[in-house]
Amino acid sequence: MPFVIYDAAAGSGKTFTLVKEYLKLILQNTNEGYYKYILAITFTNKAVAEMKQRIIKSLSSFAKEDILINPTDMASQIAEETGLSLEKIQKQSNIVLKHLLHNYSKFSVETIDSFNHRLIRTFSRELKLSGNFEVSLDTPKIINEAVDLLISKAGENRSDWRFVVRKEREIEFQNSYVKLKLNYFIPYVFGRYFKMPILIFRKIKKIIFIT
């Protein structure tokens, strides 16, 4: 199967095209459960709901006998591009729709983050994560906990601590100020300036800022 990229502006019918390509895949295949082997990924939950709705709505309209007399634009384009007859589309849509509704959990249209979450949970053991880990969207809280853990482990071994942050000069800091600065710079570095090199710890009380 060739790798295809659709480049189009907003409102130009990308969703229509993607739904059409999805339907072409499942209607051309003789396996009624072929949708289980297709993964459609989008950005937002709203886009997921819209795409699922359009796919099911299209299959529902294709499954009716009216499609043989008054085919929709989608049905006509699929018939033209695949060589399938309207009768074949109507019959296959009926079969696929029933199978999909009875196995809805296998209907994989999801967001990028939910797919990654499912992937990580599947391989949590290999990644040395707890099987019942939870996802937190509270970024400041997570950063604060990470900084606390970092400071608590300072001095446990003799290896140098190397991190990267950018500022103007070298200054001695107390641990409380180190924590304040780390809480500020971590989201800064991983946000707008991920490519920035630079903060070197020789000791936890010493930070070297390099311009």
Q: Average pLDDT, stretch 14-32?
A: 91
Order of strands, sheet of 161-163, starting from the edge strand that comes earlier in the sequence: 161-163, 199-203, 206-208, 171-172
In this predicted structure, the answer to whether residue 69 has a pLDDT above a threshold of 60 is yes
pLDDT of residue 63: 95
Domain spans, the chain: 14-120, 139-208
Which amino acid is it at 138? D
* pLDDT higher at 75 or 3: 75
Residue 81 vs residues 5, 73, 120: alpha-carbon distances, Å: 17, 12, 38
> Where does the pLDDT of residue 77 fall: very low under 50, low under 70, confident under 90, or very high at 90 and above?
very high
In this predicted structure, the answer to whether residue 179 has a pLDDT above a threshold of 80 is no
Residues in the chain, overall count: 211
pLDDT of residue 190: 54
Q: Are strands 206-208 and 171-172 parallel, antiparallel or unpaired?
A: antiparallel
> Where does the pLDDT of residue 114 fall: very low under 50, low under 70, confident under 90, or very high at 90 and above?
confident
pLDDT of residue 112: 87
What is the tens place of the pLDDT at every residue in 180-209?
556 555 555 555 444 333 333 333 333 333
44-58, 65-79, 84-98, 133-147: which range is least confident on average? 133-147
Pair 207, 175: CB distance under 8 Å? no
Give percent above pLDDT 70 in the chain: 69
